[in-house]
Amino acid sequence: MEDKDIGTVAREHYLNGFGCAESTLHAFNDLGIIDAPEALLKASTGFGTGFGGKGSTCGAITGSIMAVGLKYGRLKPEESAAVTYKKTKKIADTYEQKYKTTECAQVTSVWREKGKFNTPQRRKFCGAIVRYMAREAEKILNEEDGK
């Protein structure tokens, strides 16, 4: 997988059946950008489709934020969370600037309103979102802490 970019890997995971959060986190892990324990990879399942189908925050955002936490998170309360928060906000802002919301239900409303959420067309659309966000999140993760 080393010759594939993170967006391609994430999209492939998504089109092969993982949810948006799982796909994003698995791609970061597969490419060695983070070292995610199996338990966290499993925990990412519940974040897909905006928190288990609720339509809240898109899993492409939450999966990316989990990657930020693994790379920059803290283990003790006296440690600073500033870099983690800054990168987390930047991920959410990046998504919102492109899609005008962070909510899965709004981004996928065309399919939800017609009762056709589980269609190949919607999965293709969301696969492109997963690819875009994985690429953007990788850039954010790799920025110097002061940016």
Residue type at 13 in one-letter notation: H
Quote the pTM value: 0.93
For the stretch 93-140, pLDDT in tens is 999 999 999 999 999 999 988 888 889 999 999 999 999 999 999 999
DSSP β-bridge partners for residue 57: 103
Structural domains counted in the chain: 1
Token pair for 40: 């966290």
**Distance (Å, whole) CA 9 – CA 117:** 23
Examine residue 111 and state whether it is found in any structural domain, yes or no. yes
Confidence of residue 69 (pLDDT cuts 50, 70, 90): very high
The answer, yes or no, to whether residue 8 has pLDDT greater than 50, is yes
Examine residue 147 and state whether it is found in any structural domain, yes or no. no
For the stretch 21-39, pLDDT in tens is 999 999 999 999 999 999 9
Return the pLDDT at 147.
47
- Give the pLDDT mean for 62-89: 97
Confidence of residue 2 (pLDDT cuts 50, 70, 90): low
Examine residue 1 and state whether it is found in any structural domain, yes or no. no
Examine residue 26 and state whether it is found in any structural domain, yes or no. yes
For the stretch 79-94, pLDDT in tens is 999 999 999 999 999 9
DSSP β-bridge partners for residue 103: 57
Share of the chain above pLDDT 90, in %: 89
List the alpha helices (DSSP H) in 31-119: 38-43, 48-51, 59-72, 82-99, 104-107, 109-113
Domain span at residue 78 reads 6-142
